Amino acid sequence: MALSSSRLGAALGRPVRLTVRGSAFQGVLQHVSPDRSLLLRTVKNLETGRSTPGVKMFFEHEIVSVELLDGTDSGNGTAMLSECTSAAEGNGNKGADRGQVDCSPWNSPCLFSESQPRALNSLKYSLSEKEEEEKVEYTVIDCFQQKFGPAVLHLKQQRVVSVVGEGVNLCRHGRLSWLQIATKSRIFLFDIFLLGPQAFKNGLQMVLEDNNILKVIHDCRWISDCLFHQYGVLLCNVFDTQVADVLQFSMATGGYFPNRVCTLQECLMQHLKIPSKWDALIKCRQEVALENPDIWFLRPFPPTLLQALALKAMYLLLVHSYLMDNLMSDLTAVVNDYLNAYRNGSGDHLRSTKPTCMELPMELRQLAGVQKLRREKAVKDYRMNEDGLLIRPAMKINERNDPQKDAAHRDDGDCLPANEAVSQTSFNNQDLLCQ
C-alpha cells in the first residue's frame, strides 16, 4: 500500500518499503531529517534477502519512493522525500495551517510512544506542572548545515568547556550517541548517531585535542577510550571531577582516601544545591537507560531526556568551579598568612632575617597540625575497611541536605567549607575541622 506525503511523519516507528535507485529495502522508519535523509532500523535488502543489523541511512538523492507496509494507511500515491521535508524547512505552524506535516525530528511523534520506559512516562507526568517554571536552553546539532559550524567556532574560542558522552557501553567496544559540550553561555548537544565520524573530522576533534581548552569530564577513562579507538581523537588537558572529588576528600580527611569513587549524580548532590526537579530529572535519565539502553539511538529523542543531557553538561562546569575552590582553599589560606606574616608586625625582627633563609616557615608548618586534627576527626566520622580506606556510603537523594545523618553518612564535602580561610587563628579553631 502506498504512503502519501501527508502521512510520512505519522509513519515513524512503522514498517515501510523504501525504493532507491537499483534496489529496494524494507525496515522500520526511525527518523526523518531536515537535510532530506531517512533512517531505517531492522533493514532488509529485498533484492538479496539479507538483513542489516542496527540502522541504515538513505539520502534524498538516492530515494525514489517510500511506501507503508502494515496495511493501516488508506491513502493512495507514493510520497517523495522532498515533499515531506518541505514542511520541516518551513516556519513552524504555518506548514500545519496548509495541511502539511512537520517532519522535523524534534516535532515528529516519538518512535517509542507505545513502549516508552515506565521511568520516562512517570517523569513526564510528575514534571508537567513545573514545565513552564524553568527551562535550560540548549542547541541540538544533528546536521552540518547552519548550526554545526558556528558551534565549533564558539567552542574554539573558549578556555573551559564541559564534555559528557552518552551511549551504550561507552568504550572502544560500545556506541556513542550524544556528545554534550557546555560553555559558560551555551550548551550544545551533538547527535553523533546522526552526524557520524564526520562530526569529529569537521571540527570536534580540533576542540577536544586543543591544549588551550580545558575539558571538564567526570571519569574520563571511558569516553577517552571510545574517542581514541573509534574516532582517532586524543583527549588532552582534562580536569576530571571524579579524580578531583577523591583528592578533595583526602584533603578534608587529613590524607585518608575513600573506598569508592562518586558518580556524577552523587557529586552534584554532594557539592551543589540542585533543585529537586533537576535531581529527579537526572535520576530518571539513569533509570530510563537501565530499562532500555538502546533509547539513546531512537530518534526523535524525548525532549525531557534532551534537557537531562543539557543539565549534566551545565552542572559539570559548576562542579569544576566548586572543586577548584576546595582544592585551592588551603593554598589560598596559607598564602594569605604569608601576606600578613611580616607586614602586620613591628618589623624589628626583619633586620636579622636573611632573605635567603630556606627554613620551613611557621605558616606552612601549621598545615601538619591541621591535617592531624582532620585525620582524628575523619576516624570518628567514618568507618574504615581492612585496606585502611574510609567507607564512603552511596548517597541518596533524600539524604542530600539532611544535617541529621549519622556520622558515617555525613557529606565529606562538609569537612572543609569552601573558601574557608585557613589563617593562623583558624588553625586553632575547631570550626575549620568539620564541627
Q: Taking the CB of residue 157, how many other CB atoms lie within 10 A of it?
A: 8
Element (H, E) at 136: none
pTM, to two decimals: 0.67
State which of 71, 97, 123 marks the end of a domain.
97
Q: Would you say residue 304 lies in a domain? A: yes
Is 250 among the domain residues?
Answer: no
Separation of alpha carbons 85 and 201, rounded Å: 27
Q: Which three cell numbers stand for residue 302?
A: 524525548
Least confident window among 7-16, 114-123, 252-261: 114-123
Last residue of a domain, one of 299, 316, 333: 316
Question: Do residues 123 and 228 both lie within one domain?
Answer: yes
The Cα 204–Cα 12 span in angstroms is 30
Number of structural domains, the chain? 2
Q: Does some domain include residue 202?
A: yes
Q: Which amino acid is at 1?
A: M
pLDDT category at 165 given cuts 50, 70, 90 is: very high
- Residue 134, domain extent: 113-238+277-316
Query: Is the backbone peptide bond immediately before 361 cis, with ω within 30 degrees of 0?
Result: no
List the grid coordinates of 325.
Answer: 575552590
Residue 191 shares a structural domain with residue 301: yes
178 and 91 part of one domain: no
Residue 282 in this model has a pLDDT that exceeds 70: no
- Mean pLDDT on 253-262: 91
Instruction: Indicate which CATH number applies to the domain containing 206.
Output: 3.30.420.10
Q: Is residue 383 situated within a structural domain?
A: no
Does 14 share its domain with 145?
no
**Same domain as 73, residue 40:** yes
Which of 31, 34, 60, 33 has its CA nearest to residue 43? 31
Say if residue 92 is in the same domain as residue 139. Answer: no
For the sheet with 15-20, list strands across it. Answer: 51-59, 37-45, 23-32, 15-20, 63-68
- Mean of pLDDT values over 394-409: 46
More confident residue, 4 or 178: 178
The 3-class secondary structure across 39-99, one letter per residue, is: EEEEEEECCCCCEEEEEEEEEHHHEEEEEECCCCCCCCCCECHHHHHHHHCCCCHHHHHCC
Residue 176 lies in a domain: yes
One domain, residues 65 and 91:
yes
20-34, 118-132, 314-328: lowest mean pLDDT where? 118-132
In-domain check, residue 434:
no
Name which of 71-80, 117-126, 286-295, 409-418 the model is least confident about: 409-418
In a domain, 166, yes or no: yes
Asked, for residue 157, whether it belongs to a domain, the answer is yes
CA 28-98-57 angle, 5° bins: 25
Which one has a higher pLDDT value, 300 or 339?
A: 339
Cα(429)–Cα(373) distance, integer angstroms: 11
Provide the pLDDT confidence category of residue 373 given band limits of 50, 70 and 90: very high
Supply the CATH number for residue 75's domain. Answer: 2.30.30.100
- Distance of alpha carbon 179 from alpha carbon 189, whole angstroms: 6
Do 166 and 287 belong together in one domain? yes
pLDDT-derived band at 75 (thresholds 50, 70, 90) equals very low
SS3 call for 15: strand
User: What span, in angstroms and rounded, lies between the C-alpha atoms of 12 and 3?
Assistant: 12
Cell triple for 19: 525504493
- Co-location of 196 and 301 in the same domain: yes
Gap between the Cα atoms of 390 and 138, Å rounded: 39
Range 317-327 average pLDDT: 92
pLDDT of residue 34: 61
What is the Cα–Cα distance from 299 to 77, expressed in whole angstroms?
26
- Which amino acid belongs to residue 55? V
User: Do 158 and 118 share a domain, yes or no?
Assistant: yes
Residues 291, 168, single domain; the answer is yes
- Tell which of 97, 123, 158 closes a domain: 97
Same domain, yes or no, for 84 and 228? no
